[in-house]
Structure 1
Amino acid sequence: MSNLIRILAAIFVPPLGVFMTVGIGRDFWINLVLSCFFLFPGTIHAVWVIAKHDRG
Structure 2
Amino acid sequence: MISAILLVIIAIFLPPVAVYIVAGCGADLLINIALTILGYFPGHIHAFYVLYVYYNRKEQVQQGYYDDRPAPGVYSQNVQTGGQGYGTMGAH
Q: TM-score, normalised by structure 2?
A: 0.58
Q: For 1:13-46, what per-residue CA distance to the aligned partner results, in whole angstroms no more than 9, with x for missing partners?
A: 0000101111111111100000011000001110
> When you count helix as a share of all residues, which structure comes out higher?
1
Larger radius of gyration: 2
Q: Return the structure number with greater relative CO, CA threshold 8 A, min gap 6.
A: 1
Distance 1:19 1:4 in 2: 16
Aligned to 1:11: 12
Distance 1:33 1:42 in 2: 8
Between Structure 1 and Structure 2, how many residues are aligned? 56
Please, what is the CA RMSD of the aligned residues? 1.1
Aligned to 1:42: 43
The AA in structure 1 aligned to 2:50 is V
Shift of 1:55: 1.3
Question: Can you give the 5+ residue segments of structure 2 that lack an aligned partner in the other structure?
Answer: 58-92
Q: TM-score, normalised by structure 1?
A: 0.92
- Determine what percentage of the aligned residue pairs are the same residue: 36
Distance 1:11 1:24 in 2: 19
